[in-house]
Amino acid sequence: MDASTKRSIAIFAVATIVGSLLIGIAAVSSRSQSSISGTQPACDEHRGTIVEVQDFTAYDEQRGKLPDTLLRPASVDEDDQGYDTTVPPSVSIDRIDGKSRQWAYSTGDGSSYQFFSTNPLPFNSSLWEFQAQGGIQLQFTPTRAAALSIADFRESLGPRATPVLIGRSEGIVVWADPDNPSGQRLHHAYWEDDEGLWSLQADMSAAQIVSSARIIACR
């Protein structure tokens, strides 16, 4: 066996070992990733602080929209059929964070909207009032009706979207801009499951809303 043959064998051996190591590392990494989002759902109360960016757009720095109307806005359309207050059992929630459901409805595309608070609120309460009194809004949009995925949200929102684990989903939490003159800033949590996209919105801390979202996702 001449020297060049020995050198070739050595190079082949080293390449094989290095390649095996790389494959092994990739496999471990893959399993690790899978274990985060697949086999070990995040269901526990979130402990510790969620670091969020502090930048936001104040209400008077927005062109904004017309103020939101009501907890239960009436239709202003002659041919609208009104609210379908039937929420599919698969997405129906009775209580969140000790607050009972006060109002809920579904729409034709399969989306559902549920509103929770400690005390019943008049239906002519504005959404501001509802949220200011600790109201929680839960939305579910079936995959077929969701215009964006969580990945889309993360891409669109950039650093305003903080990644968090919610159930089996790599969700996000957003410290929202105020959308009314009160300046109140809600936290939004978004996550996905096999059925669709979920959103939880309330005036609570990021850790609290993630914890509440995990209870829903793992129920």
Partner 1 sequence: MVADLGVRALDRSARGTPRLARAEGMLEPAWRCVTTVCSSHVRSTSALARTGPREAITGSQGPQGRDRRWAISRDRQQGTTCSVNLVKRKHNTCQSWQDYESHLATDDAHRNRKASKYLTMSKRRPSCMTDRIKYALTLATTLLSAGVLLSAPAPATAGEHAGAWKQRAANDFNGFKGRQALRTNPATVVGVGYVHASQVDVGAGGGDFVAIGTAKGRGVANCADQYSGSWTIYTDGILGGVYFCNDEKKNAYKAKTNPTFSIQYDYCPSASTDRWLLSFGGTLWRCLGTGQTGGHRVTAMLETTGASNVDRNIDVRFNNLRRRHQGANWVDFGAPGHHFSNLNYSVANPYNDQVDAFLTPLD
Distance in angstroms (rounded) separating the CA atoms of residues 214 and 41 = 9
Q: Does 81 bind partner 1 (CB under 8 A)?
A: yes
Residues numbered 13-42 forming contacts with partner 1, rule: CB under 8 A: none
Given a contact cutoff of 8 angstroms between Cβ atoms, the answer to whether 115 and 131 are in contact is no
- 203 in Cβ contact with 134 (< 8 Å): yes
**Residue 188 binds partner 1, judged by CB under 8 A:** yes
Residue 145 engages partner 1 in binding (rule: CB under 8 A): yes
Q: Which residues contact 186 (CB under 8 A, 6 or more apart)?
A: 131, 176, 201, 202, 203
Q: How far is the CB of 187 from partner 1 (least distance, A)?
A: 8
Q: Please list every residue from 53 through 72 that binds partner 1, using CB under 8 A.
A: 56-57, 59-71
C-alpha distances (whole Å) from 194 to each of 30, 43, 207 are: 21, 16, 24
Residue among 117, 162, 169, 201 that touches partner 1 (CB under 8 A): 201
Among 73, 88, 120, 163, binds partner 1 (CB under 8 A): 73
| Structure-token pair, residue 180 | 């009314």
Q: How far apart are CA 47 and CA 50, in angstroms?
A: 9
Binding flag, residue 103, partner 1 (CB under 8 A): no
Asked if 117 interacts with partner 1 (CB under 8 A), we say no
Residue 110, helix vs strand vs coil: coil
147: which DSSP letter? S
Q: Does 202 bind partner 1 (CB under 8 A)?
A: no
Q: Which stretch binds partner 1 (CB under 8 A): 4-12, 15-23, 88-96, 154-162?
A: 154-162
70 closest CA partner among 95, 99, 105: 105
Is 74 a binding residue for partner 1 by CB under 8 A? The answer is yes
Contact (CB, 8 A) for 186 and 203: yes
Note whether 43 binds partner 1 by CB under 8 A.
no
DSSP H or E segment with residue 136: strand 136-142
Q: Match 């390449």 to its residue by tokens.
A: 15
Smallest distance, Å, CB 197 to partner 1? 6
CB 37, min distance to partner 1, A? 20
Which residues are near partner 1 by CB under 8 A?
56-57, 59-71, 73-78, 80-84, 105, 107-109, 111, 113, 124-129, 131, 137, 139, 141, 145-148, 152-153, 156-157, 160-161, 172, 174-177, 179-182, 186, 188, 190, 197, 199, 201
